[in-house]
Structure 1
Amino acid sequence: MSRISRDALGDLVYDQIVRMLLNHDLEPGEKILKKNLADVIGVSQTPINEAVSRLISEGIIEQKGRSGLFIRIFTNKDMMELFAVRAGLEGTALHLCMEEPENPRFKRVLNLFDDFSYPLPEERFLEYQKRDQEFHGEILKISGNRVILDFIRNFEFILRCYQKGLIRSPNETLMEHKSIVEAIRSGNTEQAQQLIMSHHWKTRERLKEMPES
């Protein structure tokens, strides 16, 4: 049996720490003790150091002077900044997608909200949330732009770790999604781009009104 290379082990440890964050085994604000992490994951200190360094560079873990390493707490202001950038990137991604309107994958995305109607019953909120994530995620992926994908990958990770539920009600965003889809189907690229950007800016504005949790 071949031995796992040092780089591959570092990637495996990084992936394990990411899973711990997503599963909330590690919480925002929690202090990171490398020895404890090594014991929990069952590896030596070296791959832990490599994985933690990578998470520091990605802004997920931060060094607080002599106090040590902590899982970063993303404030509403931090999230507002991320949504502002996402608005522009997703508008660009949608523009790129609309250059190939017959792409089967893109056409499938446009059907995600067809079976939802206003007002949306509360028992369908979770299903709607999954479709919401798929809709935006697929537009970004289908665009094929690597710069956009690199930023969004980190954004989505942060959102999954820190967002508990939807920021705005489905009964507010459903009609926005349907308007975006209608503009896409009519081939109005400029309108579709403006609508999807406005969709994210409205979420940013809602974050501005929300108390820190």
Structure 2
Amino acid sequence: MYPPSPEPDRDCPLCPRLVALRTQMRIEQPEWWNAPVPALGEEGAPIAIVGLAPGRLGANRTGQAFTGDDSGTLLFAVLEKLGLADGGVPRGVHILNAVRCLPPDNRPMPAEIHACRPFLAGQLRSPIVVALGEIAHQSAVKALGGKLPKARFAHGAEHHLPKGQVVLDSYHVSRYNQNIGRLTEPMLTAVFERALALRDI
């Protein structure tokens, strides 16, 4: 089990490729956040949401997870509908990313995911975890001490881990997945309805 972990430093040096992009973005867009994006909501809330990484025009710009782009629009629409957010503020939900810094082309490298995992694991205290996409799923399962061969990613899958946490899988809320119909609002709603059902047991 990982010990509690603080947020990464604003100038976190762990991933050279991400540092280089961050430096470039600070020159191109000096008014943007351009730093590791902190978790949003209450640590240890009943439900945690784990995403992939900050989007260029979303969290990397605004400094708030899933805020400012189309992925966040869908996610927060569902959270608001189910009473898990109010005016963009999470309610009983903790939102984190597997990787805290903007990766080139939205594709973090395995070494970058590994380097950032202690920050995820040190803050992932919720009994129910909704993983958005396969990378988030893999990182969350590993952070919680689970074994991937026994917890394979699939939309709508439910994984009960040895220490009692439950990981629920959803396709990522990316604009691409929305555009091709891989993920729809009803599909995402169903995953969070299951999370609420587990919360209330």
TM-score bucket (shorter structure) = under 0.3
Larger Rg: 1
TM-score normalised to the size of structure 2? Answer: 0.24
More helix by share: 1
More strand by share: 2
Bigger relative contact order, structure 1 or 2, given CA contacts below 8 A and separation 6+?
1
TM-score normalised to the size of structure 1? Answer: 0.23
